[in-house]
Amino acid sequence: MSDLAEAQPVLSTGARRRDLVIPGLLFAAFAAAPFLAAASGAEGYVLSLVTRVMIYGLAALSLDLILGYGALVSFGHAAFLGIGAYAVGILASHGIRDALVQVPVALVASALFALVTGAISLRTKGVYFIMITLAFSQMLLFFIRSLAAYGGDDGLTLPARSLVAGQPLLQSDGRLYWASLACLAGTYLLCRSIVASRFGRVLRGAKENPTRMEAVGFHPFPYQLVAYVISGMIAGLAGCLIANQTEFVTPAFMTWQRSGELIFMVILGGLASLHGAVIGAAAFLLLEEQLQGLTEQWRMILGPLLILVVLFARGGIMGLLQRGRHV
């Protein structure tokens, strides 16, 4: 038995070292992108595209935390993008332009929305959970669209990007890029820790077999609710970033189509690996970009592609990468 106790950490650090390769490459690529962009001659375009990838990667990462590790299929996750974006937009329209105010407000608003809707949605399972999260996000969408003072259907143009402690730190695209990367990397590390922690283990256990969890003394509900709140806050942060990137806030951020795209990104990248969600977001947005250039009907190509992924590459892109390595 003692040799087992010793064998275990060795085994897990070995596995962990292998687990570091793909996220390491991913973040190295993000860090190198601005320099490559400068060399490419289309710096502005590349920078803004990769910033978008990272921001949606952040949103997809938040969804993977509950979808991949908790089997909670939230079909209303774009609501949090909207909350984050509108927190920035509405505060800015009242002259409050500092991110040190805007971001905390966005996080608190996201957390409250997640707490209330999660406390109700998590009492249901499966398809009902999907439907009820969708219903809540649609309610919020119609509420936002009715706010004539904040542009209603037309949305809201930001006077300028957020300040940080009174300084115009995000005004250049390059700086916004690094801020987005910092948010993504920090959140990724946080989520890695959450998933491996005691809390994460309860969440993962409840995904596999809730009855078993009850039988060892855990009630999954509070754990799932806290995970839902954390996930919502991360998506809210992504919303703050997206508002700053586009300098324009619109109800389109929070439509159910956007929620569906987030689920698509997570499945495309591969469930329950965290970096898979980011890779999925990158693949989705780059494909979208390419296909849009080819044809107006790009969704006609993207749709069947998702079907192929679900049918033939169950683990998504991460699944393909891992299969390649084991062979």
Partner 1 sequence: MSEPMLDIQHLRKAFGALTVTEDVSLSVETGELHAVIGPNGAGKTTLIHQISGLLWPGSGRILLEGEDVTHLPMHQRVCRGLARTFQITSILPGFSALENVALAVQARSGSSFRFFGDASAEPALNQPASEALALAGLAARAQVPAGLLSHGEKRQLELAVALATEPKLLLLDEPLAGTGHDESLRVVASLQRLKGRYTIVLIEHDMEAVFSLADRVSVLVYGRLIATDTPGGIRANEEVRAAYLGEEAV
By CB under 8 A, is residue 322 in contact with partner 1? no
* Cα-based distances in Å from 216 to 71, 204, 205, 327: 20, 14, 11, 38
**Quick one: which of 4, 148, 165, 294 contacts partner 1 (CB under 8 A)?**
4
Asked if 62 and 216 count as a contact pair (C-beta separation under 8 A), the reply is: no
Q: How far is CA 301 from CA 110, 306, 319, in A?
A: 34, 9, 22
Binding-residue total with partner 1 (CB under 8 A): 32
- Least separation, in Å, of the C-beta of 18 and partner 1? 16
**Is 20 a residue that touches partner 1 (CB under 8 A)?**
no
Q: How far is the CB of 228 from partner 1 (least distance, A)?
A: 14
State how far the Cα of 269 lies from the Cα of 319, in Å rounded to an integer.
Answer: 8
125: number of Cβ within 10 Å? 12
- Establish if 8 lies at the interface with partner 1 (CB under 8 A): yes
What track of x and - describes contact with partner 1 for positions 32 through 71 (by CB under 8 A)? ----------------------------------------
208-267 residues in contact with partner 1 (CB under 8 A) are 208-209, 211-219, 223, 226
Closest CB 268 distance from partner 1, rounded Å: 22
Q: CA distances (Å), 15 to each of 8, 12, 20, 21, 47, in order?
A: 11, 5, 9, 11, 34
Q: Which is nearer to partner 1, 130 or 194 (CB)?
A: 194
**Are 176 and 161 a contacting pair, CB within 8 Å?**
yes
Q: How far is the CB of 223 from partner 1 (least distance, A)?
A: 7
Compute CA distances 16 → 10, 24, 85, whole Å. Answer: 10, 12, 36
**How many CB atoms within 10 Å of residue 111?**
19
Q: Which is nearer to partner 1, 154 or 214 (CB)?
A: 214
The answer to the question of residue 174 lying near partner 1 (CB under 8 A) is no
Q: Is residue 1 involved in binding partner 1 (CB under 8 A)?
A: yes
Q: Which two tokens stand for residue 82?
A: 């909207």
- Rank residues 220 and 236 by Cβ distance to partner 1 and give the closer one: 220
Q: Minimum CB separation from partner 1 for residue 307, in Å?
A: 26
> Helix 21-40 to helix 173-196 angle, to the nearest 10 degrees?
180
- Chain positions 180 to 219 lying near partner 1, rule: CB under 8 A, are 193-194, 196-202, 204-205, 208-209, 211-219
Q: Does 111 bind partner 1 (CB under 8 A)?
A: no
Binding status of residue 27 toward partner 1 by CB under 8 A: no
Task: Check residue 167 for interaction with partner 1 (CB under 8 A).
Answer: no
**In this structure, what are the phi and psi dihedrals at residue 73, rounded to the nearest 5 degrees?**
-85, 90
* Tally of residues, the chain: 327
Find the farthest-apart pair of alpha carbons in the chain and give their distance in angstroms, rounded.
Answer: 68
Q: Is 172 in the site for partner 1 (CB under 8 A)?
A: no
User: Minimum CB separation from partner 1 for residue 103, in Å?
Assistant: 20
Where do contacts with partner 1 occur on this chain (CB under 8 A)?
1, 4-5, 7-9, 11-12, 193-194, 196-202, 204-205, 208-209, 211-219, 223, 226
